[in-house]
Structures are given as structure tokens and as C-alpha cells.
Chains A and B, each alone.
Chain A
Amino acid sequence: MASVRLERVTKRFGAASAVDDISLEVPDKEFLVLVGPSGCGKSTLLRMLAGLERVSEGRIYIGDRLVNEVPAKDRDIAMVFQSYALYPHMSVYENLAFGLSLRKMSKSEIRDRVSAVAGILEIADLLDRKPRALSGGQRQRVALGRAIVREPAAFLMDEPLSNLDAKLRVQMRAELIRLHERLKTTFIYVTHDQVEAMTMGNRIAVLNSGVLQQLDTPQNLYRNPANLFVAGFIGSPSMNFFDGEIVQSDGHPACRVDDLVLGVDPAREAALGTHLGAQVVFGIRPEHSSDERPAGSAEQNAVRSKIDVVEHLGNEMLVYFLPVGHSEKLTFIARMSGERQARPGDELDIYFDAARAHVFDRETGRAIA
């Protein structure tokens, strides 16, 4: 059982950096998710942890051991691959036992371990089959089993659920969480799906273009995104963004978007005040945009808007609005209850909850408030 630490790790392929100066620490037993769009470097980072890629710069520690030059097999980690990587010519039992037999474990001990793991994953009746005779979900369990059987210090998982159909994926998500509770071992999990990340991780590391954007709990990522990228990446549908400028209005610093004046709650106004005149982006999530006035907030941030498109999802609706009298660039989405009546063309006053609004510097993307 061990913690994992990365210190200023960089990976270069030729002139380009796939991973750029990333430092993070994963305490023992944590479920850490590495998430980001394709090409953000999350898989490369995982592979460097595994020892499948050399580190260009920086240091990797597993436990307290520097493992940069340690071969993959000696790092005491196990990996679950996206495509499972099961040996096609071996039976499920042999697949599970392979790593153990290489470590010269006795036959009886191997059999005990394999049976135990097969029991946990409910694949005990598949032990004699070859991988080609298994369904996708079963293969995935065998891949998991192969990792579990090794009893490693940490599990590395590279998008293990992406090849499953949607329903199976949801089911397996829950099972993986349960597995983590049960095994009490560090899990480092890579995915491009932010829903998976949010539901599974104790903490999430958001990556983009090789750079670590924010490392935080799911709630914090949602409530206090550190920059524009994280704000737009987490949450579905994603946050509404409006280009604007910080101005002084009625003695308060606020954000001027077109001729609208939008503000944040008083506690955070001071931060805005130090950036008067700055070009910014005002962000507000669809779920915090509503035609009901938010209780107890001084700022109203009311915008008269016309309904453009309505998407019915059953229990809720996603409604596309155009602020009346403003350019089409200001279109935004609001989440409304499915019980409501809403038709394209209707006009409503939409309130942006100032307590949940965010302001980002337009150039650097960093959060100001």
C-alpha cells in the first residue's frame, strides 16, 4: 500500500511536450481521477507512472521510492488497459495466473488467489474459457481480476470502461467504487468522461494540453473552478460564458456584458475591484440560471430573454435563450423543471444567481472571482 508522488514531471516527444511540469501527490488509498480531453496527456502520465514511458524531466515516487529507472515489473503496480490486453491463447484462469506464475508463486497459492478474485468479480464459472468466448463486460472483469490478483501498491486504469455500452458502463462505475472501498488501495484512473470523473473520484486532476489545470475534490471543481477550462469542462451542459469588462456600477464593481450589468455576491466583489477595466469572461451554469428570483441575494442579474429552442429530457428541460435586444452571441442555456410550460418565442426574465457566478480573466483564463 503506498502513496504516489509526481514532482515536476515532463514528457517530451521531439519538440512537443505531452506532459508539462506536473506535480501532484496521491495519498495512500485515494481514488484519483485524471481527466481531460483527448491528447491532454493523461494517458502519457499514467504510462510514465507504470514505467511504460521514460520520464523526460522530473521524478516519480511510489511509496518513498524513486522509481524513474525502476522497470515496470518492479514498481509493484498493476494496470488495467482500455482494450483489456487479455492473452488470447490462454484461458481466463491462465490469464489471471500469469503474473503470479512469473513471480514463482506456488501452484496452490496461485489457485487460492485466483479463486478468491474470481469470486469477488463473479467470473468463477468462466475460468476455463478463452477470451474470445467472453462478452465485453466479462473480459473487462478478467482484466480487472488480473490486476487485483497481484495485490499491488496501486492500481492504474486507462479508460477501462470506454469500450462498454452505456448501461454496462454505469453498472461498472458503481462496482469499481465498491471495489475501491473493499480493496483499500490507491486507484489512479484515467478517463475523458467528466461524469465518470465526478462520480468516482475522491479527487480529480483536470489536465489540458499536458498542463495540470486543477487538482481538487469534485465539489470544489464544480463550485470553485480555478480557470476557464475547468469551468467549461466540468458540468453538463457546460457553463454559459459571456465576454465582458469589469466596470464600476453604482459604487460596486461589476461585469458589463454588452449593455447588461452582471455582478457577483458582495463577499467576492473586492476581488473584482482590483481588476477594474480588465477584459473578462462572465460564467454562470445552466442550473443557476432560472426565472425564479434567487432568495436572499442583493444583486438580481435579471435578463429579459426569449426562448429559442426547448429540449425536453423528461424530468427537466434544457432551454436555449436569446437575451432580448442583444446580439446572438449572448445565447445561453438554462435548466428548468420539466413540469413547466415553455414554448419558443416566450419571453421571460432570467436571473443569474450572483452567488454562483464566476468571473475569469479573458486572456489568462484564471478565475478572478
Chain B
Amino acid sequence: MAQEDISVQGPHLGGVEAVRQLFSRLPVHVAVIGIVIVWSIPTIALLVSSFRDPGAVITSGWWNALRDPLDLTLENYNTVLSQRGMARSFANSLIISIPATLLVILIAAFAAYAFAWMEFPARNALFLITVALLVVPLQMTLIPVLRLYTNLTVETELPVLGGRMFGTSSYPGIWLAHAAYGLPFAVYLLRNFFGSLPRDLFESAYLDGASDRLVFFRIVLPLSMPAIAALTIFQFLWVWNDLLIALILLGDPDLAPMTLTITNLVSSFGTAYQLLTAAAFISMALPLVVFFALQRYFVQGILAGAVKG
């Protein structure tokens, strides 16, 4: 746009002209920078408070902390990790999120390939239904699923990871649930991407003698990495940040992910902000890292389709 071009030429203009440019665009700069600051304050406040002395948090505003940087402490993190079970929760979040993400991608990819490149009766109708399910609120499904899990509970313990084999308070149970809820969006996204691959690429491969399995693993998957990356991020973050499903299907506190643990902390220690902020930040750290590292794919994923709830 015209104004953009001028700003690029800015340094080359004469002194007066440059200053005039700056002033006429000052309101825009003020607005944008102001918004950025306002948007970032809450997160910064959290970060700063988590490093403060427990006593200090309740008595003075976090902005004061910046005057005495030496007063910052890791004590809160220590407390929350060792005494409040956050370390275990962090592990739980990982145990829950990683398999759930991998499962959804694999299952959705198989279905997406069938929808995109195989002929079978009711293909369009089935796909439509799958995508339509995207909008069903979780609340519509939770009571029956809980009942189902209660009935299917297998008391034996799952080796290595803990929890039950299946049913309520079981890792496999929650993996399947998350995978199922993530399917509509995943299938939608992947099917559109797979479908956009050139048809003669597939025909050439079939002619060469490739089976469906081979085409899927050697051609479709390698060429679909951007979509799969976006999907991985989406699904991982969604599962990592989930509260409702964990709340309902995972009763055992030993298996609780961080969202659940923090919620309990909030209800028991409502004003112990030094603990809460530390706990919250631990739960945010990984998503933030993932986000900043893979921002591009995240954005691409959003633009590729409706964002799931």
C-alpha cells in the first residue's frame, strides 16, 4: 500500500519530511504499541509474580518487583513442583497429550485418504456428517460417555504409566476420547489437503504398481507435512489445555493433568497468587514454546479451516 512504500523510503527523505511522516503516523504507532502492551501485561504480570517472595505478592503490586530484581526467587516453583504435585501433573499432561495427538493424526489421515481418493457409496454424505459433527458441543456427549466408561472400567492397572487399563481414570480411555473429539476437524483439514494433491500423481503411482498403503506412506504423507504439522500443533494444544474432559473422565488425582491440578489449587488456595502464578506459568511454558517455534504452521492451520472448539 502507498503508505507502506513511503515508510520504506523514509530514511532517504529529507529531515523535515521524515519528521512530518513520523508525526502524521504517530497515532497509529501509539495505538499499535499501546495495544501490544495492554495485551502483554497480564502475561508479564503473571511471570513476574511467580518469581516473587510469597509475602511480597500479597502486599505489593508486581510492578514494584522490578525495582528489586534481587528479591526474585524460585521458591514458588519449588513448592509447587514438589509439594503441590505439579511435577507429576506436568508428566501427566505429557502422557495424555502426546498419544492423543498421534492417535488423532493417524486415524484421521487414514480416513482423509479414503475420502479424498477412493470411490465408495455414500462418500459425500459420510464426509458431510463427519464435518458437521464438528459443531456438536461436548456437553451433548459427556453424560453417555461417562456412563459407558463407568460400565467398561477395567480395574487392573496399566503398567509403566499407571491408572486403570480402561474406563474412568484410565489413560487409554482419555486418549480415545480426545482422539474421537479431534477427528472431525482433523479429517476435514487433512482431506482438503490430500484432495488438493494433483490427481495424476496418484495415477502415475498406481500405474507404477503402488498399492494404497504405499502411496499413502511414501507419497501422500511426505507431501502433506505442512498440514500435518499444523494439525499436530492444534491437537496438542487443545488436549494440553483441556479441562472439561479431564474433569469428567479422569477422577484419580494421580492422573490429573495440569489444567485440573491448577483448578483445584485455585479452589483451595484462591489468593495464594505466588503459587498459582508459578503453577500457571509451568502449564503455559510448553505451549508458548511450541507456539513461538511453530507459529507459521499454527497460523496456516487456522487459515485452512474453521478453528475447532
**From B201, B209, B222, contact of A99 by CB (8 A):** B209
**From A73, A83, A89, contact of B207 by CB (8 A):** A73
- Against A, the Cβ 8 Å flags (1 = close, 0 = not) of B205-241 are 1111110001000010011000000000000000000
Contacts of A50 in B (CB 8 A): 203, 207
**From A85, A88, A99, A150, contact of B200 by CB (8 A):** A85
Q: In the complex, how many residues of chain A place their beta carbon closer than 8 angstroms to a beta carbon of chain B?
A: 22
Contacts of B207 in A (CB 8 A): 50-52, 72-73, 77-79, 99
Say whether A83 contacts B198, CB under 8 Å: yes
Does A229 count as interface, using CB distance less than 8 angstroms? no
Say whether A79 contacts B204, CB under 8 Å: yes
Residues of A42-96 at the interface with B, using a CB-CB cut-off of 8 Å, are 50-52, 71-73, 77-79, 81-83, 85, 87-89
Does A102 count as interface, using CB distance less than 8 angstroms? yes
Contacts of B210 in A (CB 8 A): 73, 98, 102
Does A103 count as interface, using CB distance less than 8 angstroms? yes
Given contacts A87-B219, A89-B222, A89-B223, is CB(A81)–CB(B203) below 8 Å? Answer: yes
Residues of A298-337 at the interface with B, using a CB-CB cut-off of 8 Å, are none
In whole angstroms, what is the CA distance A150 to B219 when docked?
20
Majority secondary structure of chain B interface residues (helix, strand, loop or mixed) = helix
From residue A195, how far is it (CB to closest CB) to chain B in Å? 25
- Against A, the Cβ 8 Å flags (1 = close, 0 = not) of B177-218 are 000000000000000000000101101111111100010000
From residue A187, how far is it (CB to closest CB) to chain B in Å? 16
> Chain A: which residue is nearest B203 at the CB level?
A52
Contacts of A72 in B (CB 8 A): 203, 206-207
From residue A249, how far is it (CB to closest CB) to chain B in Å? 57
From residue A349, how far is it (CB to closest CB) to chain B in Å? 55
> Chain A: which residue is nearest B225 at the CB level?
A89
Contacts of A78 in B (CB 8 A): 207
- Against B, the Cβ 8 Å flags (1 = close, 0 = not) of A6-29 are 000000000000000000000000
Say whether B208 contacts A73, CB under 8 Å: yes
Say whether A98 contacts B208, CB under 8 Å: yes
Contacts of A85 in B (CB 8 A): 198, 200-201, 203-204
In whole angstroms, what is the CA distance A81 to B207 when docked?
11
**From A73, A82, A88, A103, contact of B206 by CB (8 A):** A73
In whole angstroms, what is the CA distance A81 to B206 when docked?
13
Say whether B200 contacts A83, CB under 8 Å: yes
Say whether A81 contacts B204, CB under 8 Å: yes
From residue A308, how far is it (CB to closest CB) to chain B in Å? 46
Given contacts A87-B219, A89-B223, is CB(A102)–CB(B208) below 8 Å? Answer: yes
Contacts of B208 in A (CB 8 A): 73, 98-99, 102, 146, 150
Say whether A81 contacts B200, CB under 8 Å: yes
> Chain B: which residue is nearest A88 at the CB level?
B223
From residue B72, how far is it (CB to closest CB) to chain A in Å? 49
Say whether B206 contacts A102, CB under 8 Å: no
Given contacts A85-B198, A89-B223, is CB(A102)–CB(B214) below 8 Å? Answer: yes
> Chain B: which residue is nearest A77 at the CB level?
B207
From residue B251, how far is it (CB to closest CB) to chain A in Å? 46
Contacts of B198 in A (CB 8 A): 83, 85
From residue A331, how far is it (CB to closest CB) to chain B in Å? 43
> Chain B: which residue is nearest A78 at the CB level?
B207
From residue B215, how far is it (CB to closest CB) to chain A in Å? 10
From residue A295, how far is it (CB to closest CB) to chain B in Å? 53
> Chain A: which residue is nearest B119 at the CB level?
A54
Contacts of A103 in B (CB 8 A): 209
Contacts of B204 in A (CB 8 A): 79, 81, 85, 146
From residue B176, how far is it (CB to closest CB) to chain A in Å? 33
> Chain B: which residue is nearest A82 at the CB level?
B200
Given contacts A87-B219, A88-B223, is CB(A73)–CB(B209) below 8 Å? Answer: yes
In whole angstroms, what is the CA distance A73 to B198 when docked?
19
In whole angstroms, what is the CA distance A82 to B203 when docked?
12
Contacts of A82 in B (CB 8 A): 200
From residue A147, how far is it (CB to closest CB) to chain B in Å? 9
From residue B121, how far is it (CB to closest CB) to chain A in Å? 15
Say whether A87 contacts B209, CB under 8 Å: no
From residue B6, how far is it (CB to closest CB) to chain A in Å? 36
Contacts of A71 in B (CB 8 A): 206
Contacts of A89 in B (CB 8 A): 219, 222-223
> Chain B: which residue is nearest A84 at the CB level?
B200
Residue with the highest number of chain A CB atoms closer than 10 Å, among B198, B204, B208, B210: B204
In whole angstroms, what is the CA distance A175 to B309 when docked?
58
From residue A83, how far is it (CB to closest CB) to chain B in Å? 6
> Chain A: which residue is nearest B222 at the CB level?
A89
In whole angstroms, what is the CA distance A88 to B201 when docked?
9
In whole angstroms, what is the CA distance A185 to B210 when docked?
24
In whole angstroms, what is the CA distance A79 to B203 when docked?
9
In whole angstroms, what is the CA distance A102 to B210 when docked?
7
Contacts of A88 in B (CB 8 A): 223
> Chain B: which residue is nearest A83 at the CB level?
B200
> Chain B: which residue is nearest A152 at the CB level?
B207
Contacts of B222 in A (CB 8 A): 89
In whole angstroms, what is the CA distance A77 to B121 when docked?
30
From residue A350, how far is it (CB to closest CB) to chain B in Å? 49
Residue with the highest number of chain A CB atoms closer than 10 Å, among B200, B205, B222: B200
In whole angstroms, what is the CA distance A82 to B214 when docked?
24
> Chain A: which residue is nearest B223 at the CB level?
A89
**18 A-B contacts, Cβ less than 8 Å apart?**
A50-B203, A51-B207, A52-B203, A73-B206, A73-B207, A79-B204, A85-B198, A87-B219, A88-B223, A89-B222, A89-B223, A98-B208, A98-B210, A99-B207, A99-B209, A102-B214, A103-B209, A146-B208
5 tightest Cβ-Cβ pairs between the two chains A and B: A99-B208, A73-B209, A85-B200, A85-B204, A102-B209
CB within 8 Å of B: which residues of A?
50-52, 71-73, 77-79, 81-83, 85, 87-89, 98-99, 102-103, 146, 150
Q: Can you name 18 extra interface pairs (CB under 8 A) apart from A85-B201, A98-B208, A146-B208?
A: A52-B206, A72-B206, A73-B210, A77-B207, A78-B207, A81-B200, A81-B204, A82-B200, A85-B200, A85-B203, A85-B204, A87-B219, A99-B207, A99-B209, A102-B208, A102-B209, A146-B204, A150-B208
